[in-house]
Amino acid sequence: MLNRSTSHFTAKRLLAAASVATIAALGLAACSPSGSGSSNSGGKVGISLIVKTTTNPYFVSMEDAAKAAAAKEGVTLTLAAGKKDGDATTQIQAIEDSISRGDKGILITPTDQTVNAAIGKARKAGIFVIALDTVPTPANAVDITFATDNRAAGVAIGKWAATQLAGKPAVIGLVDLFSNQVATVDYDRDQGFLSGMGIPLGDPNKNGDEAATGKYTGGMGGNYTIAGSQASNGDQADGRTAMETLLSKNPNINLVYAINEPAAYGAYQALQAAGKEKSTLLVTIDGGCTGVKEVSQGIFGATSQQYPSKMAQLGMAAIVKLVKTGQKPQVSNGLEFFNTGSQLVTEKAVSGLPSITSSEGAKLCWGK
């Protein structure tokens, strides 16, 4: 999930055959000559896709998948996006617009809890609301969520990082999402990473309350120091600033977790400027085509790949199936959402930890 410039990313494709088969099984029916629009006339199903921002190619890939589905089968699709990650105001207005149009469904990547009241209003109006990418708080604020298991994705990169340290002390810098907003994707990834490292957690739904020093038990185990956490807003420039701030606090950082690949690349730029890129292990989550390439180049040690196109495709299919048959989608067993999956991408496989290579990840990146 989350902002390097669009020129830095090229991954804007549909999920491969497996996802298409899944959608066919769900009974997708979507179409509009332009792939977007505001009219629900002519008996077409109206659906709004409201993403966090289109300055992030991750969300652009969602839009591309939704537009392709809409162009294929009879859906009037309306697109909306925040001006930046965290822009709840624009999302709320888009929800209000969807209610006014009489849409049958809304697909939304909710920025935080401040959009919940508008979502509740839409549901009372009879609109089926599906969250994509980010499970809202509480999860039942929407009808269902299609998303990565972000905690599991974080655990994977944490376990991998711990093994690479081979018992050496870990001096950790955390490049998180927000400083003044709360989003499940933020604390799930952060806490998943720390848990994978074998670092005891405080409140598992809160960033920054773990002990600053102690022992990690992942890999061979060892001592750890958390140098600090800085917000990046999922953005490359802000990620660089966050890393610069962390290095000013502790220049001995040798392990960096970043919320997503844009922020991670910004962190890499700061490390490179400080001459520390070769001595610092950098792990992240996203699995975009550019990010996978950066794994192959050794810029990132590992990333957890997720599948935003699949989220959009399944969400579109679910709404159309509901309209046609009345059948509602179901969450994955043991979870409060439908898990669209993730895979660890690295060139340094670890025994007992499932992973794929960057060349394998390049065939899957974001569902091209």
Query: Would you kindly state where each structural domain of the chain is located, as residue ranges?
Result: 6-148+307-329, 150-305+344-367
Query: What 3-state DSSP class applies to 154?
Result: helix
Query: Average pLDDT of 171-197?
Result: 95
Name the architecture of domain 150-305+344-367: 3-Layer(aba) Sandwich (3.40)
Mean pLDDT of the chain: 89
CATH fold match for the domains 6-148+307-329 and 150-305+344-367: yes
User: The tokens of 80 are what?
Assistant: 């909306």
Average pLDDT over residues 11-30: 36
What residues have CB less than 8 Å from 140, skipping those under 6 apart? 336
pTM over 0.75: yes
pLDDT in tens, 28-58: 333 333 333 334 445 689 999 999 999 888 9
Highest mean pLDDT among 42-46, 86-90, 92-96, 206-210: 92-96
Whose CA is closest to 301, among 283, 278, 279, 286?
Answer: 283
> In the predicted model, is pLDDT for residue 12 greater than 80?
no
Q: Is the pLDDT of residue 265 over 50?
A: yes
**Model confidence at 106: pLDDT above 70:** yes
228 token code pair: 């600090």
Burial 149-173 (b: 16+ CB within 10 A, else e): bbbbbbbbbbbbbbbbbeeeebbbb
- The residue-averaged pLDDT of 238-257 equals 98
pLDDT of residue 204: 85
Q: How confident is the model at residue 368 (pLDDT cuts 50, 70, 90)?
A: low
CATH class of domain segment(s) 6-148+307-329? alpha beta
Q: What is the mean pLDDT of residues 264-268?
A: 98
Reported as a pLDDT band with limits 50, 70 and 90, residue 151 is: very high
Mean pLDDT of 264-289: 97
What is the percent of the chain where pLDDT is above 90? 82
pLDDT band per the 50, 70, 90 thresholds, residue 181: confident
Do the beta carbons of residue 365 and residue 287 sit within 8 Å? yes
Bridge partners, residue 230, by sequence: 175
pLDDT at 37: 37
Is residue 218 pLDDT above 60, yes or no? yes
Position 84 scores a pLDDT of 86
pLDDT at 195: 97
pLDDT at 18 over 50: no
Place of tokens 């009372």: 124
- DSSP class of residue 340 equals -
